[in-house]
């Protein structure tokens, strides 16, 4: 009986369909090699079929709404080149239970869906999905051209609320993640810079980062030409924390009758005023009228934001100096605490003001990472989280699996 049309449709080079078995939910095609087994190392043909062979069932892309499996006799060869193992099959990787094109499909889905959903839809185990995804990401990483950025950004992300950190090293101008490492200590980041080599490190001219000493130490150790910049967006986060602390402390001291005004005021203070709704604006005004310290802090925060909005570098630097002298005249411990930091960090803030560039990439980083973390299985496996972050930022998304 002829299976030529089916062989043609199957389209696996070097193989023909010999038999079909149709079950309720799956179709099993028995296929056979035409020609001779090939050594994967030296490419030698085996004219005399090796005796040792193994029947294997591998999954291929579904056909006609049923899962499709291929039954294949895989030869084990002993080659004169010294190789000993399975023959070469172009469309099936060694030890793999699914075809190369099946893996590509799963990978495409993995860019868009959670592993759990894919495992349900395809009826395969979560572990298989994760493994296929991880392997494919690694392949895509290996195929990438290496980036030699002039500017890098170092940002920490928390893997769990408040503890267990990871650090993302990115190239914001190229909009690429360079790597994700576990932890945020100097020792955690050192392997990255060592691995990149001294030439690569010499090429770094700017390193923006959060004001975290270990980041600065590692950059000044390995990237001798890099100017360290503390960015607006990180500084604002520190300022927000200070204001939040002040709000909590003031609320504790407040008269019973005034407590209501403090309630739910967190976002009123932290949000940019232009993003507040009318009724929130009224609530904010009430709070600012009631509490002088919060009101002063709020004005200072506004002024702080204005530093970075100035048109020229000179103007920005002047505004920083002005802001610091304003803050020095204020006797609010939370503000003074923040000012002390600014004083310590001043040279790095000035560097940042000198090189006015967009921070949009680094700013968006945290939110996007949070989405990735939520989408995924808790990512107990750090290596998988790392790969997934790289995948979601660096690689082209899929539009359709048929592309």
Cβ contact 175:361 at 8 Å? yes
Q: At closest approach, how far in Å is the CB of 46 from Zn ion?
A: 9
Rounded CA-CA distance 2/303 in Å is 82
Under rule CB under 5 A, how many of the chain's residues touch Zn ion? 7
Rounded CA-CA distance 52/39 in Å is 14
Give the range of 41-49, 129-137, 310-318, 379-387 binding Zn ion by CB under 5 A: 41-49
Nearer to Zn ion, 41 or 375 (CB): 41
- In terms of Cα–Cα distance, which of 400, 394, 401 is closest to 169? 394
Q: At closest approach, how far in Å is the CB of 94 from Zn ion?
A: 14
> Token pair for residue 169?
């090293």
| Residue 79 sits in the site that holds Zn ion (CB under 5 A) | yes
Give the range of 71-79, 123-131, 164-172, 349-357 binding Zn ion by CB under 5 A: 71-79
Rounded CA-CA distance 370/57 in Å is 39
- In terms of Cα–Cα distance, which of 275, 216, 211, 265 is closest to 237? 211
> Token pair for residue 348?
């790095």
Convert residues 118-157 into a mask of x (bound to Zn ion by CB under 5 A) and - (unbound).
----------------------------------------
| Residue 84 sits in the site that holds Zn ion (CB under 5 A) | no
> From its phi and psi, is residue 195 left (phi > 0), alpha (psi between -120 and 50) or beta?
alpha
Nearer to Zn ion, 87 or 133 (CB): 87
Mapping DSSP to helix (H, G, I), strand (E, B) and coil, where does residue 227 land? strand
Helix (H) or strand (E) holding 75: strand 66-78
| Residue 83 sits in the site that holds Zn ion (CB under 5 A) | yes
Nearer to Zn ion, 43 or 347 (CB): 43
Q: At closest approach, how far in Å is the CB of 31 from Zn ion?
A: 24
Cβ contact 327:342 at 8 Å? yes
Cβ atoms within 10 Å, residue 75: 20
Considering only residues 43 through 62, tell me which ones interact with Zn ion, judged by CB under 5 A.
44
Give the range of 76-84, 135-143, 241-249, 288-296 binding Zn ion by CB under 5 A: 76-84
| Residue 288 sits in the site that holds Zn ion (CB under 5 A) | no
Q: At closest approach, how far in Å is the CB of 16 from Zn ion?
A: 25
Give the range of 53-61, 73-81, 122-130, 178-186 binding Zn ion by CB under 5 A: 73-81
> Token pair for residue 109?
């889905």
- CA–CA distances in Å: residue 340 to residues 144, 164, 238, 320, 376: 44, 27, 12, 14, 40
Give the range of 39-47, 180-188, 355-363, 381-389 binding Zn ion by CB under 5 A: 39-47
Give the range of 2-10, 32-40, 54-62, 332-340 binding Zn ion by CB under 5 A: 32-40
Cβ contact 385:376 at 8 Å? yes
How many CA within 13 A on the CB side of residue 222?
23
Nearer to Zn ion, 44 or 217 (CB): 44
| Residue 41 sits in the site that holds Zn ion (CB under 5 A) | yes
Instruction: By CB under 5 A, name the one of 21, 42, 120, 248 that touches Zn ion.
Output: 42
| Residue 81 sits in the site that holds Zn ion (CB under 5 A) | yes
Instruction: By CB under 5 A, name the one of 10, 31, 38, 39 that touches Zn ion.
Output: 39
DSSP string of 213-224? HHHHHHHHHH-T
| Residue 38 sits in the site that holds Zn ion (CB under 5 A) | no
Binding site for Zn ion (CB under 5 A): 39, 41-42, 44, 79, 81, 83
């Amino acid at each position: 009986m002829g299976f030529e049309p089916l062989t043609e449709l199957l389209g696996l080079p070097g193989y023909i369909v010999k038999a079909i078995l149709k079950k309720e939910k799956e179709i099993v095609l028995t296929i056979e090699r035409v020609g001779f087994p090939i050594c994967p190392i030296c490419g030698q043909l085996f004219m005399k079929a090796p005796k040792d062979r193994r029947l294997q069932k591998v999954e291929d892309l579904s056909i006609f709404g049923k899962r499709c499996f291929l039954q294949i006799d895989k030869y084990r060869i002993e080659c004169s080149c010294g190789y000993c193992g399975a023959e070469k099959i172009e469309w099936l990787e060694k030890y793999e239970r699914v075809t190369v094109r099946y893996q590509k499909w799963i990978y495409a889905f993995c860019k868009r869906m959670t592993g759990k959903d894919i495992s349900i839809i395809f009826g395969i185990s979560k572990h298989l999905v994760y493994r296929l995804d991880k392997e494919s990401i690694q392949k895509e990483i290996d195929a990438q051209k290496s980036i030699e950025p002039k500017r890098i950004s170092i940002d920490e992300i928390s893997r769990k609320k408040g503890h267990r950190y990871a650090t993302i090293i990115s190239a914001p101008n190229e909009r690429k993640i360079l790597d994700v490492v576990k932890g945020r200590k100097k020792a955690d980041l050192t392997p990255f810079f060592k691995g990149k080599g001294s030439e690569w490190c010499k090429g770094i001219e700017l390193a923006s980062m959060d004001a975290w000493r270990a980041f600065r130490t590692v950059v000044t150790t390995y990237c001798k030409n890099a100017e360290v910049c503390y960015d607006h967006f990180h500084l604002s986060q520190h300022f927000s924390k200070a204001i939040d602390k002040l709000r909590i402390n003031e609320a504790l001291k407040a008269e019973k009758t005034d407590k209501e005004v403090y309630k739910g005021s967190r976002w009123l203070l932290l949000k940019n005023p232009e993003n507040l709704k009318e009724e929130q604006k009224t609530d904010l005004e009430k709070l600012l009228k009631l509490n002088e310290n919060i009101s002063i802090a709020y004005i200072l925060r506004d002024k702080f934001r204005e530093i970075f909005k100035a048109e020229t570098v000179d103007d920005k630097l002047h505004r920083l100096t002005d802001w610091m002298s304003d803050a020095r005249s204020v006797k609010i411990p939370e503000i003074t605490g923040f000012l002390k930091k600014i004083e310590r960090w001043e040279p790095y803030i000035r560097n940042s003001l000198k090189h006015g560039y967009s921070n949009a990439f680094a700013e968006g980083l945290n939110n996007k990472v949070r989405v990735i973390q939520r989408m995924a299985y808790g990512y107990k496996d750090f290596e998988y989280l790392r790969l997934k972050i790289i995948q979601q930022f660096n690689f082209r998304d899929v539009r359709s699996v048929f592309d």
